[in-house]
Structure 1
Amino acid sequence: MEKVLVIDDSLVQAEYLKLILQDEYDVTVCQTGADGFLQAMSGEYSLIFLDVVMPDIDGFMLLRKLQGTVQTKYTPVILITSLSDVQHEEKGLTLGAVDYISKPFSPVIIKARANTHIKLHRYQMQFRQQAMVDELTGVANRRHYEDESRAKWREAVRLGLPFSLCMLDIDKFKVYNDTFGHPSGDKVISTVAQTISSHLQRATDFFGRYGGEEFVAILLGNDAESAYRFFKTIRQAVEDLHLPHNPAVSEWVTVSVGGVTLVPKESDLYDTYLKIADIMLYDAKRFGRNMVVWSDANKEQWREK
């Protein structure tokens, strides 16, 4: 059953909406903007009904927050208000609301609008998922990375969270392809991708294929040392697959890993730290491959011996 969130400071209005919708949807009610935002952050909702006039945070401001947050920016929002003038309607739609309903509202209209926007949301998410998945590996593709990386960076800036950016590369992959052929190489890329992906399961984690045999990962909340230890575990997991390589270069297929952790500020540039992560990856290759090299914002480094 699709989930609907109602955010309205009037319990009478909120419960009325719930009564209208509860036969077809799993409806949750929140009476403050703060509680509603926290609930919406679960990312589980297919539609949000949002009252414009609330005492703690008005609907327009909350709509901005929902639109600017990774977990909620694609969730459709219908504004509900007694402010029926065109100016307020235009403002809501400009800020990203999908619809605008004035009080008092008709149950038939509420059901129809909910049904329409939930269907549209479902189709859009299916299309988006298909467009954002790498066909070979089933993980996020480069386009998805470009979208998510900037959004997660902005969220880390806003919340003051540690942001870890990681680059991973299959070692001596050209030699592997030359030895075993491209179909086998594709299988190795897919297997390695699935192994790494299985370790990145938190809602705030991101993992995708950057291009060729190179991958990118993002963590929110880990300090530099814990991120370093985490990717050591992933590097070891790939080696433990025991996928045979050309014995002239390596017994098994392995990956090299480079990354950086910082708490980004408004003045920091994402591309600066992407370059640092890439340099750490280059160092991992230079120091012998099959290792993790990590840095923090103060250029302190961790490296496997």
Structure 2
Amino acid sequence: MAKQQPAGRILVVDDQATNIELLHNIFKEVHEVEFAMTGEEALEMAIRDLPDIILLDIQLPGMDGFEVCRRLKSNANTRHIPVIFLTAKNDVDDMVNGYKQGAVDYVIKPFNWFELIAKVNTQLVLREMKSELRNAQEREELFLRQIQLSLEETELTLGGGRPQTKQRVLIVDDSVSNIETLASMLGDEYELFFAVNGEQAKQIAREAHPHLIMLDVVLPDTDGYQVCKQLKREPETRDIPIVFVTSRDSAEDETRGLEAGAIDYIIKPYSHSIVKARTRNLLELVRNRDLLKKLTLTDALTGVPNRRNFQEVYRREWFRACRAREPLSLIMIDIDNFKRFNDFYGHPAGDACLQKVAKMIYQVRKRNTDFVARLGGEEFVVILPDTDAEGGQRFADAMLNAVRKLAIAHEHNDGKKIVTISAGLVTCYPGPHISRENLLSTADECLYQAKKEGRNRVCSRMEPSDDPA
């Protein structure tokens, strides 16, 4: 089932009644649609009503669309409103001029309604994401301010100060010259990957997980539509936005690409300004989506991933280990006698303790694939992909030692005087002989055993394998 379009308020600016009627019929079932027939009227309505998006014709009586857009973008109250130009001319110079004035996209008349809906939908989704992101950041900032009043010693910040990395773009084209052209346009801003056929593209998409895929329709081993459909079916790649970059410019081809799951369609030969503008707009959408997702998947107190994030990563790593026939180690962790700590030192000190322990466990990681999460309370979990029992034991021992070195005072920790942790480690070769739930239960049993034996230790188990090797 297709996703429902997000509802929004659309201002259509066109001096042709037939175009106004057509656009009204396209959007009236979902959106609130208003109309203006001159540039002056459009500016007045935009300032007064602040629509969510403006569909703006270039050829208007008196003030043309370029000037309307320029004035909208110079006004602090309206500059945030996305503008999509509507034009009867497929003129590169006009498109470039439109992007320079601040437009986010172009639609050529006569309208391909599927393309138009997709582009409006993209901008409305981006608007919702930005709104949710602002709200989430405001909630988190308020929470952090409240915590900071009580926690002056903590060194762990939530998401701040991390270096910005380039977004990754995968270019798929069997023509070396086309790849070189796109690389010259985008190489300075993005980390680029290249594929010359469909199979190579799918493999790189799974391994590199790019933020955007620019996909040619004509490939030597398959067509781009099939590659797009296959990527959209796989959980690891279905959320990656795909843009078709092709010389096929018919409405039928464009519609077929959008129906396959693409988010946009760029026609060859390339215009440097258009490719850069559309890529930048799409990657802004991705960046906001990823940041919003990160906020919803991060534990607000400690800054490490939360339970929901763990469930997603655990499922993904389990099936990856099944495919690769690699070992997977799982560690359940508990801060020893944490209730006594909270009762004696108070909850602000307890929160500071959780933050320091989370940070220390996180710093023990040697690889980006090693995953640490807080499940709730004083309980944490670590996923170690492609790690055997010996490697899991080394990691667990390093964790315990690192937390002991923090030397956080704990007068009620069974005579140990400092904060310690207990851990349950289990290793297996995932397969039909064992389930994810069973592995979690076994790790919990090992953690219970560690506590029973006196805490401040690791108990481990190697699950039997059905691997004939």
Please report the TM-score for the alignment, with normalisation by the length of structure 2: 0.56
Instruction: Select between 202-211 and 17-26 the one with higher mean Cα deviation.
Output: 17-26
Change (3 A) 1:68 1:157: farther
Partners of 2:327 and 2:293 in 1: how far apart? 28
Partners of 1:40 and 1:294 in 2: how far apart? 36
1:38-187 to 2 correspondences below 5 Å:
39-40=204-205, 43=208, 45-55=210-220, 59=224, 60-61=226-227, 64=230, 68=234, 74-81=239-246, 82=248, 85=253, 88-89=256-257, 92-93=260-261, 97-101=262-266, 104-107=268-271, 109-187=274-352
How far residue 191 of structure 1 moved from its aligned partner, in angstroms, is: 0.6
Change (3 A) 1:291 1:36: same
Partners of 1:246 and 1:214 in 2: how far apart? 20
How far residue 189 of structure 1 moved from its aligned partner, in angstroms, is: 0.8
How far residue 40 of structure 1 moved from its aligned partner, in angstroms, is: 4.7
Q: Give the counterpart letter for 2:422 in structure 1.
A: S
List alignment gaps of at least 5 residues for structure 2: 1-165
Change (3 A) 1:58 1:217: farther
Is the contact made by 1:79 and 1:92 (CA closer than 8 Å) also made in structure 2?
no
Question: Paired residue for 1:15, among 168, 176, 180?
Answer: 180
Q: Give the counterpart letter for 1:138 in structure 2.
A: G
Name the residue aligned to 2:427: 261
Give the secondary structure class of the aligned counterpart of 2:406. Answer: coil
Does 1:252 pair with 2:418?
A: yes
Partners of 1:76 and 1:214 in 2: how far apart? 36
Change (3 A) 1:196 1:64: farther
Name the residue aligned to 1:302: none
Partners of 1:276 and 1:193 in 2: how far apart? 23
Change (3 A) 1:24 1:284: closer
Does 1:298 pair with 2:298?
A: no
Partners of 1:255 and 1:2 in 2: how far apart? 38
Is the contact made by 2:258 and 2:264 (CA closer than 8 Å) also made in structure 1?
no
Does 1:219 pair with 2:384?
A: yes
Partners of 2:433 and 2:222 in 1: how far apart? 28
Partners of 1:182 and 1:212 in 2: how far apart? 12
Change (3 A) 1:25 1:174: closer
Q: Give the counterpart letter for 1:265 in structure 2.
A: G
How far residue 37 of structure 1 moved from its aligned partner, in angstroms, is: 5.2
Partners of 1:54 and 1:161 in 2: how far apart? 33
> What per-residue deviation string (whole Å, max 9, x for no partner) do you get for residues 175-207 of structure 1?
111111111111111110000000124121110
> What per-residue deviation string (whole Å, max 9, x for no partner) do you get for residues 244-294 of structure 1?
112462321110000211111256421111111111111111111111111
Structure of greater relative contact order (alpha carbons < 8 Å, 6+ residues apart): 1
> Which protein is bigger by CA-based radius of gyration?
2
Give the secondary structure class of the aligned counterpart of 2:320. Answer: helix
How far residue 10 of structure 1 moved from its aligned partner, in angstroms, is: 1.9
Is the contact made by 2:423 and 2:457 (CA closer than 8 Å) also made in structure 1?
yes
Instruction: Select between 15-24 and 288-297 the one with higher mean Cα deviation.
Output: 15-24
Q: Provide the aligned C-alpha RMSD in A.
A: 2.9
Change (3 A) 1:295 1:68: farther
Does 1:272 pair with 2:438?
A: yes
How far residue 92 of structure 1 moved from its aligned partner, in angstroms, is: 2.6
Is the contact made by 1:142 and 1:209 (CA closer than 8 Å) also made in structure 2?
yes
Change (3 A) 1:295 1:267: closer
